[in-house]
Copies of this chain bind each other. A is one copy, B any other.
Amino acid sequence: MKTVLSLDAMGGDNAPHAVLQGADLYLKKNPKVFFRIFGDKAILDVLIKNYESLKKNSEVIHSNFIITSDMKPSLALRNGRLSSMGMAISDVAVGNSKAVISAGNTGAYMALSKIVLKSFDCIDRPAIPAFIPSIKGQTLLLDLGANIECSPENLVQFAVMGSSYCKHLQNVENPSVGILNVGSEESKGNAVVREAFNLLKTMNNINFYGFVEGDNITQGPVDVVVTDGFSGNVALKAMEGVAKLFSQTLKDGMNSSFINKIGYLFSKSAFDYVRKKADPRLYNGAMFLGLKNIAIKSHGSADHIGFANALSVAIQLIEKNILTDLEKNLLEVA
């Protein structure tokens, strides 16, 4: 039997092309998937003819309303149920598909998902996680901005959910978890992180490491770093800025002389190695952690390769039954 996924074809900077091409690409790797694609049928039916595999393994369901990237979540909530995004989300709620994937407006997607798919009882706002390249492979960082202010209990929930998410996607048996802080000693930080520390160190089902600092996100030693959405968002974007600065500066240096340009040609495979290690497309696709169903956010700027990666994340989480695991683990800390 095929696994059914619902796609918001109209969300993201490269929609609908990246969505359709990404789905077609994914089918070449895994033909046991069927897509229910929501969006403007007149446009999609024409485009889909170009994709042999997708044409045979999909159904287009019409919606003529699109949630734009700058629409406020409150407006999306009032009017968004019949948008391509809203209909794709509802498709999971009524049981037609196992997961929804959208590259559209994050705030609107989160708000609609929360109302339509519901979150677990103890979860206020679902957390957004992301894998970050690190010296030892990848580190999971959460929350990335959904929960600006957090209680110690929120951080404990992030630890529980992040641990389960990391285990299923990275095949790490018992992921180590750290709380982001300004120092590693127990006395450091504010009351929220210190109380979360005290709660986590008594829990048997979490492999708790203790406090970690900002550089530990990329330098190890933990698998999962939990923090509130403010610091998580600041850290993520600060790191993206440095990666961009590094590439730009190196490019300037490489273009500064003829000798350097020759050097670049010789070193090309080394640069490709770095580029591949940091390629955001391979890290694309994050589950809203805390919802009772699987909703995956693809980055708004993702191309077809990035979108295909988000589909692969969805399938892995379905196959590994992450929802059962999350519900069980959250009950233990509720």
Contacts and interface: CB of A to CB of B under 8 A. Distances in A.
Interface stretch (A31-39, A56-64, A115-123, A235-243): A235-243
Interface in A237-279: 237-246, 248-250, 252-254, 256-257, 259-260, 262-274, 277-278
Contact of A215 (B213, B219, B227, B238): B238
Contacts of A238: 214-215, 217-218, 235, 238-239
Interface string A204-246: 0000000001111111000000010111011111111111111
A325 interface: no
A145 B204 CA distance: 32
B230 A253 contact: no
Contact of A259 (B231, B236, B266): B266
A134 interface: yes
Contact of A230 (B231, B236, B242, B265): B231
Contacts of A182: 145, 148, 229-230, 233-234
A133 interface: yes
A30 interface: no
Contacts of A278: 246, 249
A124 to B, nearest CB: 15
A190 interface: yes
Interface string A278-304: 100000000000000000000000000
Nearest to A220: B241
Contact of A135 (B214, B229, B248): B248
A314 interface: no
B270 A266 contact: no
Nearest to A254: B270
A219 B247 CA distance: 12
B233 A235 contact: no
B233 A214 contact: yes
Interface in A117-155: 133-135, 145, 148-149
A263 B265 contact: yes
A244 B219 contact: yes
13 contacts: A135-B248, A213-B233, A213-B234, A214-B235, A214-B236, A215-B240, A231-B234, A239-B241, A246-B274, A253-B270, A254-B267, A257-B270, A264-B266
